[in-house]
Amino acid sequence: MPATADDLLGQIESYHLMSAEDIAAVRARWFLPDRPEAHDATRFCEWLRASHALTDFTLNALARGRADRLTLHKYRLIDRLRAGPEAGDYLAADPLDRRVHIQIIAPALAHDPARFGRFRQVVQRAMNVLHPNVPRVLDLGHTPDVDFLVSEHIDGESLEEVLKKRGKLPPDLAVRIFVMAFDALEALHRGQLWAGELTAGCLVLTVGDKGGHGGRSVRLANFAFPKRFFDSSALNVTGQPAAAAPPPADDLLPEGPAEPEDDIARLGAAFYRCVTGWEPAPAAAPARVQELAPDVPIELADLIDHLVDPDPGRRPPTAAAVVRALRTFLKADEKAVAPAAAPVRGPAGMPAAAGNGRLSVDPLRPDEPEVTRYFRAVMRHEGSDLHLSVGSPPMARVRNAVQPLDAPVLTREGMQRLVDPIIPPLGRTQLDQSGGADFAFVVGEGEARFRVNVFKQRGLMLGLVARRVTAVIPTFHDLHLPPLLEKLCEYEQGLIIVSGVTGSGKSTTLAAMIDYINAREQVHILTIEDPIEYLFTNNKAVISQREVGIDVSDWHTALKHAVRQDPDVILVGEMRDRETFEAGITAAETGHLVFCTLHSSSAPSTIGRILDLFPAEMHPAMRQSLAFNLKAIVSLKLLPCNRPGVARIPATEVMVVNSTIRELIIRGEDKKLADAIRIGTLEGMYEFNESLRQLVLRGDLDHATALHASSNPDALKMALKGIKISQGGLI
């Protein structure tokens, strides 16, 4: 253990184990002049553990003097994974704080030039696989001590865990899972890769992050690289000597899927188990599916029987053939259930793809920039985002899964050709000076509007991400938001914050609130946005919309001038820094109703997020200001919905500032805010778990999705059983 807490924090800073913002927050919250134990390393470590600032894994490495092993070039190790197909490997963060999966390559492999050369070739092939159900292989790294492989981290529950709890799955659900799994297998075979260990433990069901029916998807873990290739102990984070690794097997790296039917049989065995609850016999012909599970339709049962047939010649020749058969079954099933014809969909409710498995793209229309055809593809497939990156085909996010469009791989010159016609002159200047630019792009004659971000990456290459903005401003009813938001719009003065993570619907919720006021109040509404997303039409109110970078130079200047423009209501797109928040709170103090957004996970945590913008000596004053000007915080989580015709539905948490909450904010007792929300039901307040409970009872969410979204799943389980948790006194 380092001698003092100062030494410990020095190591954390030196090895970049926290962001600069988090380190500044730790300094402000721990190293207080009146804290006698401020320099005690052990107490400091306990505080970091209790506040979840660092994991036990990281703190143990610091205590053993092994902090240098926690940084592998640009990747920062966070924890040792203990469950699922990634168990034994490391969870890490990249420079953008995105979670990645790191595997330490076994020394016996890394130190064998011939075998490691073959391993590198397979890694290069794996990096070229772009499929929503295959985790991206991102990097092959080297330090003086170890070589390591970096890929996307899969957060979810393995099919093995599901089957242990449920025994087997309904046939229609199994089909939706395996149509994605076989489609992913076909992508691997096209890339000349073996699928590897195709067991139920390597199929991971994800919720929310990746697309699929009802927000569900399946991803293939450990593909191409069996676990025997890796040895996490070689990093020696604990300081204990690593166990001697066995010599590499002779069959270390097959050159490619010369016999894809073997992969098909392994995946077919998992499919067989899903619908029957039994493992197929390894040598003899297994019992027919209909004998073990009569509820499985005959056509589907016959297909699964062929998948596990001991004779390779009787199995489907390719994974693509299995996908076509399963999609045919899905379409027949949908026609049998649906009373009217529905648009043709691919696996798990995805829009139909082109013949090569990619989303189709319409021909370019005359007099439109070339990139417009990709924007129109997002519109056609009811997607939310467009991603353009050199070295990959154009990608669209459809039902929360990023999928390739039917278009060529983008080159550096092609990317420049797509961006140049649509980026405005000011955006070009911003891109050259700061490496990124935001602007809005309108398709056709107002057919759709996109919020576009163009940025530089990997030196001089360009990237583009565009989010589709709905042309029609939705109502609270359209968004399935609680009626309480209408009452919040009736305040005459104060600050109302809408919080949530990226993509949770904050901007759309604010637009609905502004349009509600516009339809009912004769006031002046001023919006400050970057860029303007929703275009408002004056109704009873007069609305002025200013875009940062076009109508005004920066956020601070816009807010400083706002109070001189006679507004009654001010909308700020996002509170990004101390100066912006100070200007916003000043506007609220001077009699304006101010709406803004903030990135935080819950209503109580929003207070701490605001205080993190300010030095510690300003916290008492900021608490006073918040207590008397903050009116409410609405937090959002957007979740996949079970209701037909509704893709996603918000779970909400509402905190209205009453006398109890005002007192807790002033006294710095933020941990009691959640309890105050629970007992404030008569004033319309409720926490996320109550919102999740109601959504489950209405049939909008299933139990698994609700528990995954909850920060306290044990309490939610009890609430769903009708057991209420009593709260002690707050004051």
| Mean pLDDT to the nearest integer, 627-654 | 89
- Environment class of 633 (CB within 10 Å of its CB; exposed 0-12, middle 13-18, buried 19+): buried
Closest by CA position to 102, among listed 159, 142, 160: 142
Q: Please, are residues 705 and 215 in contact by the beta-carbon 8 Å criterion?
A: yes
- Mean pLDDT is highest, among 223-232, 381-390, 641-650, for 381-390
pLDDT band at 331 (very low <50, low <70, confident <90, very high): low
Residue 240's pLDDT is 53
pLDDT at position 349 is: 41
Q: Which residue has the higher pLDDT, 252 or 476?
A: 476
The predicted model gives 566-588 an average pLDDT of 86
- Transcribe 121-138 into DSSP letters: HHHHHHHT---TTSPPEE
Confidence of residue 338 (pLDDT cuts 50, 70, 90): very low
Closest among 229, 221, 193 to 115, alpha carbons compared? 229
CA nearest neighbour of 275 among 247, 304, 309, 250: 304
> Over pLDDT 90: what percentage of the chain?
27
pLDDT at 20 over 90: no
Q: What is the mean pLDDT of residues 395-421?
A: 89
Between CA 230 and CA 253 the distance in angstroms is 13
Phi, psi of 187 (to 5 degrees): -65, -40
Domain ranges of the chain: 1-68, 157-236+258-337, 372-469, 486-686, 688-721
**pLDDT confidence band for 216 (50 / 70 / 90):** low
Confidence of residue 466 (pLDDT cuts 50, 70, 90): very high
- Position 460 scores a pLDDT of 67
Q: Locate tokens 């042309």: which residue? A: 471
pLDDT at 1: 52
Mean pLDDT of 222-228: 80
Question: How many Å separate Cα 371 from the centre of its chain?
Answer: 26
Query: Widest CA span of the chain, in angstroms?
Result: 84
Q: Which two tokens stand for residue 370?
A: 């070339």
Q: Say what the pLDDT of residue 234 is.
A: 85
Residue closest to 73 by CA, chosen among 100, 54, 53, 45: 100
Which tens digits make up the pLDDT trace of 516-547? 999 999 999 999 887 777 888 899 999 999 88
pLDDT for residue 727 is more than 60: no
Among residues 353, 550, 373, 379, the alpha carbon closest in space to that of 450 is found at: 379
Q: What percent of the chain has pLDDT over 70?
A: 89
pLDDT tier for residue 217 given thresholds of 50, 70 and 90: confident
Q: How high is the mean pLDDT of the chain?
A: 83
What is the tens place of the pLDDT at every residue in 339-369?
433 333 443 344 445 555 688 888 888 889 9
pLDDT computed for residue 682 by the predictor: 74
What number does CATH give the domain 157-236+258-337?
Answer: 1.10.510.10
At position 455, the amino acid (one-letter code) is F
Return the minimum-mean-pLDDT range out of 271-280, 442-451, 705-714: 442-451
Token pair of 576, please? 């990004």
Pick one of 2.60.40.10, 3.40.50.300, 3.30.1330.60, 1.10.10.10 as the CATH number of 486-686.
3.40.50.300
Give the integer Cα–Cα distance in Å for 424 and 364: 21
Tokens of 47: 């505080």
Pairing outcome for strands 461-469 and 385-389: antiparallel
Task: Quote the tokens at residue 83.
Answer: 């469950």
3-class DSSP string for 443-460:
ECCCCEEEEEEEEEECCC
Which pLDDT value is given to residue 535? 82
Check residue 542 and give its pLDDT: 93
Average pLDDT over residues 52-78: 80
Question: Which residue did the predictor score with more confidence, 623 or 64?
Answer: 623
Q: What is the per-residue pLDDT across 248-285, written as a single tens digit (0 to 9) for each?
A: 444 445 444 446 778 888 899 999 999 999 888 766 67
Average pLDDT over residues 621-643: 92
According to DSSP, the β-strands at 90-93 and 99-104 are antiparallel
Q: Determine the average pLDDT of the residues in 121-148.
A: 85
Name the 3-class secondary structure at 371. coil
Amino acid at 486: E
Average pLDDT (676-701) is 87
The CATH number of 372-469 is which of 3.40.50.720, 3.30.930.10, 3.30.450.90, 3.40.50.2000? 3.30.450.90
At 80-92, the pLDDT tens digits run 888 778 888 899 8
Helix intervals (H) in 51-158 = 56-63, 107-110, 113-127
Is the per-residue pLDDT at 143 higher than 70?
Answer: yes
Contact 145, 212 (CB under 8 A): no
Give the SS3 label for residue 428. Answer: helix
CA dihedral 390, 392, 395, 400 (to 10 degrees): -110
CB-based contact 312:259 (threshold 8 Å):
yes
